[in-house]
Copies of this chain bind each other. A is one copy, B any other.
């Protein structure tokens, strides 16, 4: 089957899936969880094949860990499905309702985007998470996982497809792509695919973004900053810098650059260096920093480098304005924090820093769908349209306008004897569902 045909099948399935009711989708999700649990042995056996091959090809230890899919991971994804079932159906929510005239009512109603293409590396649990999020939100999904997880992914996607289709979901709503060439072809299917979500390394995400005209939801870089203002509580600032840098270095919301107000640089830099030395963080600093503490000199390139490692670049700035300018110039629009006791400075920072997440007196590491309480996370986006920051289920949704009339025509609302529109908000007492649906 060609990828164009695969995508067309997914499109047809997405039309049907958009109209499936909440109970039926939840029943299918429950059946998926049960089927996965029942197939534990089979899944783990497939994963062992992948692990054996990966070890043979000398895959690095952290990647092996991500590749592993054992009983623990399985109960994790099943628990995830159970919480997903409990979430309200995001489809069919009335966003607004307006009477245009008597008997002419306009409803703006949430609906699925359609077909989502997801490309992810290594972790097979991502396959289960993203496909069940798509099902809950009524989207068809084309999936491509890392080649090192091919057996695990095939097994998981087959079980999900079988269990859900048996529960009445349309054939073809979930399909697994096999090769890198398949991905390249998928990126050309803008006729059928409405959104691509890449999950993986910077270069990988950038490759996707540069090679498709389909909208991409995601982030390439996470160059996050902590700015320690002259009015900061310096002990609090040390804690926040250490946490932002070190709590988990390999992730996109870890800090890469520390900006320090020149007013407190002499006092703060030695304090923060002592704490970062304990965590073995390598420091690279501007000239002003180097005049105060021992650091490797930072180059221009450092300001736009995402280390994802125990490395931090440090720059002394003249104050709030320079900090904001630096972040807007070198940052990636992901997450940036200010530490200050001055409320006005904090508000100015959060207003002028053009990032999806702007924080006051807390760690950049809070920038995460689970910590935000979103219920589910589709990904983190540095886009300026549609969805920004940690994206929950709403990122997989759009809306349509439903206009319910009783024979109205526009000719009656134009010309010298034009009828007037009422444009009255329709107040709904019983929840957020449509009356007609």
Contacts and interface: CB of A to CB of B under 8 A. Distances in A.
Nearest to A434: B347
Interface stretch (A47-55, A72-80, A258-266, A351-359): A351-359
Contact of A247 (B14, B248, B357, B414): B414
A410 B243 contact: yes
A88 to B, nearest CB: 14
Contact of A410 (B363, B386, B409, B437): B363
Main secondary structure of the interface of A (DSSP, over half): mixed
A98 to B, nearest CB: 5
Interface string A95-112: 000101000101000000
B19 A362 contact: no
Nearest to A114: B384
Contacts of A210: 213
Interface residues of A, number: 78
B236 A407 contact: yes
Contact of A385 (B243, B356, B385): B385
Interface stretch (A34-42, A126-134, A148-156, A398-406): A398-406
Contacts of A328: 15
A299 interface: no
A194 B333 CA distance: 13
B15 A352 contact: yes
A388 B401 CA distance: 9
Contacts of A427: none
Given A357-B400, A403-B357, A421-B371, A352 B18 contact: yes
A351 B82 CA distance: 27
Interface string A394-425: 00001111111111111101100000010100
Interface in A234-268: 236, 239-240, 242-243, 247-248
A86 interface: no
A365 interface: yes
B361 A413 contact: no
A113 interface: yes
A258 to B, nearest CB: 15
B401 A354 contact: no
Given A240-B407, A366-B405, 5 more contacts: A19-B352, A233-B407, A240-B409, A360-B405, A383-B398
Interface of A: 14-16, 18-19, 98, 100, 104, 106, 113-114, 194-195, 209-210, 213, 215, 217, 233, 236, 239-240, 242-243, 247-248, 328, 343, 346-348, 350-352, 354-363, 365-367, 371-373, 383-390, 398-411, 413-414, 421, 423, 436-437
30 contacts: A16-B352, A18-B352, A18-B354, A100-B371, A106-B373, A113-B385, A195-B385, A215-B383, A215-B384, A239-B407, A243-B410, A243-B411, A343-B436, A347-B436, A347-B437, A357-B400, A359-B403, A361-B407, A362-B403, A362-B404, A362-B407, A362-B409, A363-B410, A366-B403, A367-B403, A371-B421, A384-B398, A385-B398, A386-B386, A389-B399
